[in-house]
Amino acid sequence: MQQYLDLLSRILNEGVHKGDRTGTGTLSVFGNQMRFDLRDGFPLLTTKKLHLKSIIYELLWFLRGDTNVHYLQEHGVRIWNEWADENGELGPVYGHQWRSWPDYKGGTIDQITNVLEQIKHNPNSRRMLVTAWNPAEVDEMALPPCHCLFQFYVADGRLSLQLYQRSADTFLGVPFNIASYALLLQMMAQVTGLEAGEFIHTTGDTHLYSNHLEQAKLQLTRTPRPLPKMKINPDVKDLFAFKYEDFELVDYNPYPHISAEVAV
């Protein structure tokens, strides 16, 4: 994925030094876009090994509307542990906003189901959006949403998805985000009878933490390898019925993992 390496290089060469909430410090650029055509393969980084299990279970957790880390922990996924309270709760984070956005009448809005229906029955709609950024509840969240808005687009039998991410931890977070939303796109395409098109990743504050700079430079010494393929169980036609076992990654040949600390 040369697009990703180009982004690392851009931040290292053009980034400005900024302080941040965690106190770690960053090199940052503002505004970036990467495009991935899923016909070219599944966009999972090959220049370092990623933990696909965490990516899949986190996405299934979002789609459940869940906001407690117990489901993740039961499946050996610990990526949200640092932000959870003593009961495992995170507040009204992604899953809550995707599936149970509060409306002004006292009810809730299932944004995922709504957008599925639009893709199926009104594919030319320009309103096929899901947002996780709820100003009324953002202060109640353990971590406000970084990837906060995504939109679907149907043309020529292909379904595409564009994500806007306000804050992009480029070394640790962005590779996960790319794979997660590419997988969501494949799942949505399958259950709506469309071909997966492009995943477009637009980011705002796009940064490398100061303790990730050497790792980024190491990654830039590695030449991208051919992308793997993601096989999805073709029998699943209900978005909310997918299980971990329905996904199979084939021909993934990454370089070794590169360790880096999460800025909390």
68 is in an annotated binding site: no
Half-sphere exposure of 193 (CA within 13 A, CB side): 5
208 is in an annotated binding site: yes
158 is in an annotated binding site: no
- Among 146, 185, 189, 230, the active-site one is 146
114 is in an annotated binding site: no
Q: Which two tokens stand for residue 200?
A: 């477009």
DSSP state of 68: B
168 is in an annotated binding site: yes
Would you say 100 and 110 are in contact if contact means Cβ atoms under 8 Å apart? Answer: yes
78 is in an annotated binding site: no
40 is in an annotated binding site: no
17 is in an annotated binding site: no
Residue at 43: amino acid letter:
P
Would you say 213 and 28 are in contact if contact means Cβ atoms under 8 Å apart? Answer: no
126 is in an annotated binding site: yes
Q: Is-catalytic flag, 146?
A: yes
225 is in an annotated binding site: no
DSSP string, 71-137: HHHHTT--TTGGG--TTSB--S-HHHHHHHEEPTTS-EE-HHHHHHHHHHH-TT-S--EEE---TTT
Q: Which two tokens stand for residue 86?
A: 């003593």
Would you say 254 and 46 are in contact if contact means Cβ atoms under 8 Å apart? Answer: yes
Sequence ranges of the binding site for dUMP: 21, 126-127, 166-169, 177, 207-209
Report, as residue numbers or ranges, the catalytic residues.
146
Sequence ranges of the binding site: 21, 51, 126-127, 166-169, 177, 207-209, 263
